[in-house]
């Protein structure tokens, strides 16, 4: 039986086959555009072309699982299905003004959707697209790809829960939310369960579709309340399964998946993780990834703190006025010191997510995957600042493995996950480190507020 996973991510599209070693059949990187302040875009036609190229390369399969970017969205023509707008990335912040005007409705939006008013989510972006392209189809990238590849104008319940337009209790589009954000209900795709079936793409039945972070959660083998994962990609995203629909504040309730009934999770994200490392490389702070390894005494213990909040603060703070900040430099500070402090800053921000999640569900384990998770200094420091054992995934392809596992499950097949990687045990707690970093974080907040 041949099971494939199409992992359509923020920077590239990858096609993998569910062999024991999760063989990569092909990868295509797409361009990212920054056409103005707060704007991050991609070309939907380029992404679609890459998906078609990879599926042609792979040939027929018994099942295909599609993982998508989550909150990135666009408008496209109902008849030709060609994109009418760029893909507006989840990183894009152009809707800040719209969301500020909606602030009096923030509690109503949160009560219905579970989400705050933040440009990370799709609702306000889809509202702008609806005004710019009346009569167009609107949706996240998965709905665009499925409409073009299979003829099914649909999305899954987990992805829909990330838009801000789905009623989190009912699992359907909410007319009131659509009214608030100015999105025509009829322009949105049908919401389906995760394993509902989404048509056939170039000889491969799409038996599962889901947003990337939920796919990674499934790929880690998390099935029980309290089991949690953190994926370190462009951003860092934590998810923990819950028992029933949670009602937290700083952290977010979301749909993990719908396998014949909705399973809920708690969700939180650090907006800049891998993107912060990429910045350090582009800026010449680091010459290579080797500059992020081989550290001894923590930089924070020497008074050096780095908050890499290039896109502001996500959960649990939800403050897009925060700016990147480096504090505590001295004449002896080196580039490697800054690289070390950057990793520690990511770990401290991630620890805040973990602490908030633990307020609502007893954590049974903490699993990590993605780029910097394989950095032993980072993983060990994360274990110390969270005071929890941190287990590295047995594969860095957790998103793809989760999508493939769900696709196989739709056929009644269970894929065997790879054995987990090493576990990092926490060192002695050092509360003064967290206090020092929190003081730096406080100084960074409000910096982008133009009224100051």
d(CA 162, CA 68): 12
Query: What is the CATH architecture of 3-212?
Result: 2-Layer Sandwich (3.30)
Question: Domain 221-392+422-452 is in which class?
Answer: alpha beta
User: In 3D, which of 20, 18, 38, 40 has the Cα closest to residue 30?
Assistant: 40
Domain residue spans in the chain?
3-212, 221-392+422-452
User: In 3D, which of 171, 94, 174 has the Cα closest to residue 132?
Assistant: 94
State pTM to two decimals. 0.89
* pLDDT digit string, tens, across residues 98-120: 999 999 999 999 999 999 998 98
Contact indicator for 270, 349 with CB cutoff of 8 Å: yes
- Structure-block tokens of residue 422: 């090493």
* pLDDT digit string, tens, across residues 178-206: 999 999 999 999 999 999 899 999 999 99
User: Quick one: pLDDT at residue 81?
Assistant: 97
d(CA 186, CA 138): 9
Contact indicator for 20, 418 with CB cutoff of 8 Å: yes
- Backbone φ and ψ of 149, nearest 5°: -85, -35
Label residue 451 by pLDDT band (50, 70, 90).
very low
User: In 3D, which of 365, 369, 374, 352 has the Cα closest to residue 440?
Assistant: 352
pLDDT average, residue stretch 60-76: 95
CA atoms within 13 A on the CB side of 206: 29
Q: 3-212 and 221-392+422-452 share one CATH topology? A: yes
User: In 3D, which of 136, 150, 33 has the Cα closest to residue 82?
Assistant: 136
């Amino acid at each position: 039986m041949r099971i494939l996973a199409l992992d359509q991510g923020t920077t590239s599209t990858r096609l993998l086959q569910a062999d024991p070693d999760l063989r990569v059949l092909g990868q295509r990187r797409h361009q990212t555009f920054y056409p103005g302040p707060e704007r991050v875009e991609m070309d939907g036609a380029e992404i679609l072309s890459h998906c078609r190229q990879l599926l042609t390369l792979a040939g027929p399969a018994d099942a295909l699982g599609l993982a998508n970017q989550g909150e990135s969205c666009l408008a496209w023509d109902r008849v030709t299905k060609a994109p009418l707008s760029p893909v507006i990335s989840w990183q894009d912040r152009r809707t800040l003004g719209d969301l500020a005007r909606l602030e009096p409705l923030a509690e109503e939006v949160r009560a219905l959707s579970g989400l705050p008013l933040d440009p990370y989510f799709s609702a306000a972006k889809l509202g702008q697209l609806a005004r710019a392209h009346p009569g167009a189809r609107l949706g996240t990238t998965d709905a665009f790809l499925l409409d073009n590849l299979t003829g099914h104008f649909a999305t899954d319940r987990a992805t829909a829960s990330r838009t801000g337009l789905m009623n989190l209790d009912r699992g359907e589009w909410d007319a009131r939310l659509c009214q608030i954000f100015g999105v025509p209900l009829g322009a949105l795709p049908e919401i389906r369960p995760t394993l509902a079936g989404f048509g056939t793409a170039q000889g491969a039945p799409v038996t599962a579709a889901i947003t990337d972070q939920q796919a990674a959660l499934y790929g880690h083998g998390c099935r029980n309340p309290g089991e949690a994962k953190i994926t370190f990609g462009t951003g860092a995203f934590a998810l923990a399964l819950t028992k029933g629909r949670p009602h937290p504040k700083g952290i977010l309730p979301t749909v993990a998946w719908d396998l014949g009934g909705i399973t809920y999770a708690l969700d939180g994200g650090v907006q800049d993780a891998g993107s912060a490392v990429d910045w350090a490389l582009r800026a010449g702070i680091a010459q290579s990834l080797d500059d992020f390894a081989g550290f001894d005494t923590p930089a924070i213990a020497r008074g050096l703190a780095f908050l890499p909040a290039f896109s502001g603060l996500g959960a649990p703070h939800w403050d897009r006025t925060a700016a990147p900040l480096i504090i505590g430099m001295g004449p002896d500070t080196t580039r490697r010191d800054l690289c070390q402090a950057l990793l520690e800053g990511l770990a401290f921000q991630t620890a805040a997510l973990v602490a908030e999640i633990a307020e609502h569900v007893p954590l049974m384990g903490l699993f990590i995957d993605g780029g910097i998770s394989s950095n032993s200094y980072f993983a060990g420091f994360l274990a110390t600042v969270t005071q929890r054992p941190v287990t590295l995934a047995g594969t860095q392809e957790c998103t793809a493995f989760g999508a493939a596992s769900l696709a196989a499950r739709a056929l009644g097949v269970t894929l065997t996950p790879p054995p987990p990687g090493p576990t990092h045990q926490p060192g002695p707690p050092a509360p003064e480190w967290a206090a020092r970093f929190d003081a730096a974080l406080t100084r960074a907040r409000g910096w982008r507020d133009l009224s100051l």
